[in-house]
């Protein structure tokens, strides 16, 4: 699964980035705290469906579906 598949209020652990991600983008996602092993919570979707706010560690960040689909994850239970 990817972060884009996460329902509201659900949590997931970041596994890595999909193959299509540019190295610079992967580096930036890493620098933003979306690093492998980090727990991410889906907080809410914008009224028009996109972007989506995720809770990453200790702060909140909005990502578009395009980016969320690039981040592979597994459900956190």
Partner 1 sequence: MGHAHHGGGGSTTANIGLKRFAVVGSPNSGKTTLFNALTGLHAKTGNYPGVTVARFEGRTRVDDRDTVVVEDLPGAYSLDPISPDEQIVVDVLDTDQHRANHRSVGLGVPDALLVLLNATTLRRSLGLIAQVHQTGLPICVVLTFTDDLARRRGRLDIAALTRALGVPVVPVVAGHRDGVADLRQVMAESDSWSTPVVAPPTDPAEVTAWIESVLASCDYQVPEVDHRTRRIDAVMLHPVIGTAIFAVTMFLFFQTIFTVAAPLQGYVEAGFGWLGDLVAARVHIPWLSGFLSQAVIGGVGSVLVFLPQIVLLFVLIALLEGTGYLARAAFLMDRVMARAGLEGRAFVALLSSVACAIPGIMATRSLPSAKDRLATMMGAPLMTCSARLPVYILLVSILLPAGSRIGPFSGRGVVMFALYLMGAVSAMLVAAVFKKLSSRGGPVLPFYMEMPPYQVPRLKNVAAEVWTAVSAFLRKVTSIIMTATVVLWVLLNLPLRGDAEMTAAGVDTGSETAVAAYVIDHSYAASVGKAVEPVFAPLGFDWRINIGILSSLAAREVFVATLGQVAAAENPEEPAAALTEMRVQDGPQAGRLLFDAPTIAALLVFFMYALQCMSTVGVMRRESGSWKWPAIAFGYMFVLAWVLALAARTVVAALW
Tell me how far apart the alpha carbons of residues 50 and 13 are, in angstroms, rounded to a whole number. 21
How is residue 9 annotated by DSSP? Answer: T
Within positions 4 to 63, which residues make up the interface with partner 1, using CB under 8 A?
Answer: 22, 24-25, 27-33, 35-37, 43-44, 46-51, 53, 55-63
- Within the chain, what is the greatest distance between any pair of CA atoms? 31
Residue 2 parent element (H or E) = none
Tell me how far apart the alpha carbons of residues 27 and 47 are, in angstroms, rounded to a whole number. 29
How many residues of this chain interact with partner 1, rule: CB under 8 A? 35
Smallest distance from partner 1 to CB 49, Å: 7
Smallest distance from partner 1 to CB 75, Å: 20
Question: Which residues contact partner 1 by CB under 8 A?
Answer: 22, 24-25, 27-33, 35-37, 43-44, 46-51, 53, 55-64, 66-67, 70
């Amino acid at each position: 699964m990817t972060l884009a598949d996460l329902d509201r209020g659900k949590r997931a652990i970041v596994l890595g980035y999909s193959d299509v991600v540019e190295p610079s983008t992967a580096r930036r996602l890493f620098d933003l705290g979306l690093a492998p092993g980090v727990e991410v919570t889906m907080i809410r979707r914008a009224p028009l469906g996109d972007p989506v706010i995720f809770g990453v560690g200790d702060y909140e960040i909005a990502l578009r579906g395009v980016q969320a689909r690039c981040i592979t994850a597994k459900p956190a239970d």
